[in-house]
Amino acid sequence: MSKTIHYLKDYAAPAYRILKTDLHFDILEPQTIVKSSLTVQPERAGEPLVLDGSAKLLSVKVNGRVVDYVLEDEKLTIAGVPSENFTLEVETEILPAENKSLMGLYASGGNLFTQCEPEGFRKITFYIDRPDVMSKFTTTIVADKKRYPVLLSNGNKIDGGEFSDGRHWVKWEDPFAKPSYLFALVAGDLAVTEDYFTTMSGRKVKIEFYTTETDKPKVGFAVESLKNAMKWDEIRFGLEYDLDIFMVVAVGDFNMGAMENKGLNIFNTKFVLANSRTATDTDFEGIESVVGHEYFHNWTGNRVTCRDWFQLSLKEGLTVFRDQEFSGDRASRVVRRIDNVRMLRLFQFPEDAGPTAHPVRPASYEEMNNFYTMTVYEKGAEVVRMYHTLLGEEGFQKGMKLYFQRHDGQAVTCDDFRAAMADANGINLDQFALWYSQAGTPVLDAQGRLKDGAFELTIKQTIPATPDMADKQPMMIPVKTGLLNEKGEAVEFEYQGKRVKEAVLVLTEAEQTFVLGGVNEPVIPSLLRDFSAPITLNYPYSEQELATLLAADENEFARWEAAQTLYHRAINANRQALAEGRPLPEHKALMDALALVVSGDFDPAFRAILLQMPSETDVWAEEENIDPIQVHQAREALLNAVAVKFLPQWRELNRQAAEQENQADAAVRYEYSPELAGWRTLRNACRAFILRADAAHIEHVAENYEAMAQNMTHEWDILSAINSNESEIRDRLLTKFADKFADDALVMDKYFALIASSRRKDTLQQVQTALSHPKFSIENPNKARSLLISFSRNIPHFHAEDGSGYRFVADKVMEIDRFNPQVAARLVQAFNICNKLEANRKAVMTKELQRIHAQEGLSKDVGEIVGKILNEK
């Protein structure tokens, strides 16, 4: 397999820029003819003009004259172009209905859509397809009016008309220069939902959401989420929308969650369509977050974009931080923060510790699609959050204002963002740059002691070796810290000349001692409050100290972290007991702490999240020679013990939560709201424990299913709780669920996810049967994710000792790779754990990886990941 590696160090500014881009799409059947007229400005006259493209090339002209060219390896090279501005005309032919990669222009449900980030535009026409080439676009679309009544593109609609043959045309103009990855086009028979938003300067912006006619009633929450996001961005960041119209189009076949194309966002239906019968509270929260994320890109991504794809986190890390802050202001901030950290630890920490580890700003890549990762997005957001932690809200906003003042309308780098933060606040952030260039999760080992009326906290940092770099430099790490006494009361201390209850300790050396003065009693340090840095922190807490933190810390994140540590220790104690054939421990410290959780005065959403144990992945995160089944069994045993221990309390809390929901007005009782969602989360956690502790309760669930499943949140959680039950009741209820929602594609995704995540003995057989279900299509990314990626996260079945899970997933990776390498690359990442497994499973998984790697015609997307796992260079 030939490899082309792209390196950040090789970046060079483009030899040519494109000032204006005029596109003309003639949508025929089956082909679409694309004509582009480009105003090209030479930056380094005399160099050949090189364009990217893979469409069928029909003609090339310079200043109206046909020219010679060389077309090789998807590069169109034209020598001897004029040294002054000139016009380049390119004509191509594409076949959208045959495009199963869902990149470029493709067909879905009889309509046409585009996805151009990162390098899809080259599938449409030949262009300098890189983010630092920014151009002003006009787009004309011609199509049959009956089949394609709606014709959309970026910017504002400026003209249109009809032809006598039943065809019509529309012309769009985007007044803002943008790179080609932000181009969008939609053509089809779609229904529109309209609304308006009045900006802070008094401008009236039209809002349009396009869906199928059937789905039109489900867009209301997404519309309100957009208006809330627009208002929030004005209040928090002073940023106002800049076009006359904001359009969102929902499509069922989409590789990503959504795409922020200027003025014409294209969304996966999963993040637009919702009502309480078909969407869970989590779905509603996801819609609000993603709608906010894509809107916020208008400034952090579109108005200021990336110089090159190595800088992807410049827009994505910053915008994820902004959407997290938006979501935190819309609901429980601590619960949202915990959700973000759980996701980071579940997916990004293993990525940082695995064969595909890379910095927030990668130094090289083979296939850019592979770097839309948790590291670039979620760890990138934590890097932005550290700026906020170090500078405070006022300092952070000063940095943001300077960033826009300097770079509006430009394609820039992560270093430019860091410089704006540093310069606006008059501080040196040179060392902070290491967060962009060093991969791996830093590990902090802390020790504390009382000495001479002060608490001395010594912290040692270690940044583990990763495939790209063995030796790492010490990083700048903010550690938000407080102190509690043995009664759980906050203790004031002196730090940097001030008497405080909390301070941000900034670690800059390999080992550093912080002196917190004025402390004359034994204290418990509350460390890494609010998860102030994306690191792992070890401190030798006693179980009593953890119980005190859980019971009394003023910082709710720290309370949750204490609970997670107690769970983690208990699961590991179970593992040791199982390995030695001993009875399981009683876990007195944990059970005493949980007694407080179930009986204390807690916000329902926070109480529910305190009851969630670390995942298996969390437990083995820093281990080698992993036996996944052993970890799974130890965790299951602890869940069962907690369920039995507190069964009366689960029944009472379940009753209280149901009562709170029933007291709400009947019209909104089962609709989404943060308050009711909190009570439902608690109720469903209790229900799951009850079903674990009381085997007969499943019969009560079956008898009262319709009354209990009043919205999708309850229905999903009931089915999830019984999903691994071997009885026929589970089969009957799942079949009933599938029959009821057979015509709702998004709910059927839930059905396939349930099939794939069950721990029942026949799960692999049921997954294989589901592949031929009339509502399943392996070509649809949502369906593939719901069934296949869900199965790859099913610990007992994916890691089955006979290797059947590995073989099945490997087969599906190779099948999907033939038509959609992006989805195949997501699925193959389930094998990233290979080199950390115990010897037998490692050998079986390695054999499957070798089989994938030998596949003829393997894509760069999959080949790059598999090669790294197999340690091939």
Share of the chain above pLDDT 70, in %: 100
Q: Could you tell me if residue 136 is inside a domain?
A: yes
Is pLDDT of 734 > 60?
Answer: yes
Local confidence band at 296 (pLDDT 50, 70, 90 cut-offs): very high
* pLDDT for position 3: 82
Which pLDDT score is estimated for 2? 64
pLDDT at residue 389 is higher than 90: yes
75 pLDDT higher than 80: yes
pLDDT for the residue numbered 873: 42
| pLDDT tens-digit readout, 769-780 | 999 999 999 999
Do 243 and 164 share a structural domain?
no
Instruction: Please choose, from the candidates 857, 745, 824, the residue with its C-alpha nearest in 3D space to the C-alpha of residue 108.
Output: 745
Write out the two tokens for 290.
């993603």
Q: If pLDDT is split at 50, 70 and 90, which confidence band does 631 have?
A: very high
Strand order through the sheet with 75-78: 49-52, 75-78, 70-72
Which tens digit of pLDDT belongs to each residue from 655-679?
999 999 999 998 899 999 999 999 9
For residue range 126-153, list pLDDT tens digits in order.
999 999 999 999 999 999 999 999 999 9
Are residues 50 and 127 both part of a single domain? yes
Looking at the structure of the chain, the number of domains it has is 4
Q: Say whether both 325 and 454 belong to one domain.
A: no
CATH code of the domain containing 53: 2.60.40.1730
Per-residue model confidence (pLDDT) at position 78: 98
**pLDDT (tens digit per residue) in 690-704:** 999 999 999 999 999
Tell me how far CA of residue 436 lies from CA of 98, 386, 430, 431, 472, in angstroms: 39, 12, 11, 10, 13
Q: In what order do the strands lie in the sheet with 523-526?
A: 502-507, 477-485, 523-526
Secondary structure in 3-state letters for 712-761: HHHHHHHHHHHCCCCCHHHHHHHHHHHHHCCCCHHHHHHHHHHHHHCCCC
Radius of gyration for the chain, computed over Cα atoms and rounded to the nearest angstrom: 28
Judgement on whether residues 276 and 147 belong to the same structural domain of the protein: no
Q: Beta 443-451 vs 32-42: how paired, if at all?
A: unpaired
**402-406, 766-770, 869-873: least confidently modelled range:** 869-873
| pLDDT value of residue 667 | 87
Last residue of a domain, one of 381, 411, 437: 437
Q: Say yes or no to pLDDT of 804 above 80.
A: yes
Q: What is the arithmetic mean of pLDDT over 189-199?
A: 99
> What secondary structure letter does DSSP report for 242?
-
What number is the average pLDDT over the span 296-309? 99
Residues 249 and 319 in one domain: no
pTM for this predicted structure: 0.98
Same domain membership, residue 244 and residue 350: no
Summarize pLDDT for 535-577 with one digit per residue, the tens: 999 999 999 999 999 999 999 999 999 999 999 999 999 999 9
Mean pLDDT value across the chain: 98
Residues serving a catalytic function are 294
For the cut 60, the answer to whether the pLDDT of residue 463 exceeds it is yes
Range of the domain at 375: 314-437
* Share above pLDDT 90 across residues of the chain, in percent, rounded to a whole number: 99
Clarify whether residues 395 and 456 are in a common domain: no
The pLDDT, as a whole number, for residue 622 is 87
Band the pLDDT of 1: cuts 50, 70, 90. Answer: very low
pLDDT digits (tens, 9 = 90+) for 586-607: 999 999 999 999 999 999 999 9
Question: Which of 540, 556, 576 is where one domain is finished?
Answer: 540
Those residues whose C-beta lies under 8 Å from the C-beta of residue 3, and which sit 6 or more positions away, are 366, 860, 864
Cα–Cα dist 81/62, whole Å: 8
Average the pLDDT over 477-502 and give the result: 98
Same domain as 133, residue 229: no
Q: Is residue 834 part of a domain?
A: no
Q: What is the pLDDT of residue 290?
A: 99
CATH number at residue 338: 1.10.390.10
